[in-house]
Amino acid sequence: MSNRQLAFNKALILAPLTDGNAVNERTVHIVEAIRAYNPRLDVKWIPADKRLPGEPQFAVVERVHGKEYIIFHVQDESQFDGRILEQIIKADTSRNDVITDIDAHNEALKLMHKKAQQEQMAEATDIAKHVIASPLNKYRVSKDVVIKDYGNRLR
């Protein structure tokens, strides 16, 4: 961002980085909150000369036994907001029971699928009752489905 752009955007407060670049103050606050939440976590800014155009600008990393592991990337500063901290908290298995959350989600999906199947069966049963009770030789179920009686009455 040029100095001219900064002059027009007075609400934007930049914090300098050690390499001479700068990030906005909101990003700095989120990074500080991440570090306060878990001291093993950190955010690394990936300099423009170290990435291709369109690649993420930030990497959230975890330090374990002296090594850093990338947890996820953040595309740019516009996406660097409270959602980042929320994502970290949701993924924290030491404070959240992720397995229970996944099991609850899967159980909900199963129940919704079962209910949809029950509704389809009820609809098919209703159609069969109407076809059997109909005096017609041809019964249109839908635009594409027609049931014909070729002399062998369904009753």
3-state secondary structure 51-101: CCCCCCCEEEEEEECCEEEEEEEECCHHHCCHHHHHHHHHHCCCCCCHHHH
Q: Are residues 66 and 24 in the same domain?
A: yes
Q: Does residue 153 lie in a domain region? A: no
Rounded to a whole number of angstroms, the CA Rg of the chain reads 30
Q: Which domain holds residue 16?
A: 3-96
Q: What is the predicted pLDDT for the residue at 15?
A: 59
Q: What is the predicted pLDDT for the residue at 69?
A: 93
Q: Are residues 67 and 111 in the same domain?
A: no
Number of separate domains in the chain: 2
Q: Are residues 124 and 70 in the same domain?
A: no
Q: Are residues 26 and 78 in the same domain?
A: yes
Q: Does residue 155 lie in a domain region? A: no
Q: Are residues 110 and 69 in the same domain?
A: no
Q: Are residues 15 and 84 in the same domain?
A: yes
Two structure tokens written together for 138? 């041809």
For residue 36, give the H/E element and its range: helix 25-37
Two structure tokens written together for 90? 């949701």
Q: Does residue 49 lie in a domain region? A: yes
Q: Are residues 75 and 126 in the same domain?
A: no
Q: Does residue 29 lie in a domain region? A: yes
Distance CA 149, CA 50 (A): 73
* Separation of CA 120 from chain center: 29
Residue 108 three-state SS: helix
Local confidence pLDDT in tens for the 155 residues of the chain:
444 433 334 345 555 666 666 677 788 888 888 889 889 999 988 888 888 988 998 999 999 999 999 999 999 888 888 888 888 888 777 776 777 778 878 888 888 888 889 988 998 898 888 777 777 777 777 777 777 766 665 54
Q: Are residues 37 and 70 in the same domain?
A: yes
Q: Does residue 14 lie in a domain region? A: yes
CB contact at 8 A, 15 and 25: yes
Q: Are residues 113 and 77 in the same domain?
A: no
Q: Are residues 129 and 79 in the same domain?
A: no
Q: Are residues 108 and 122 in the same domain?
A: yes
Q: Are strands 138-140 and 146-148 parallel, antiparallel or unpaired?
A: antiparallel
Q: What is the predicted pLDDT for the residue at 11?
A: 47
Q: Domain end: 96, 121, 140, which one?
A: 96
Tell me the whole-structure pTM to 2 decimals. Answer: 0.53
Q: Are residues 13 and 75 in the same domain?
A: yes
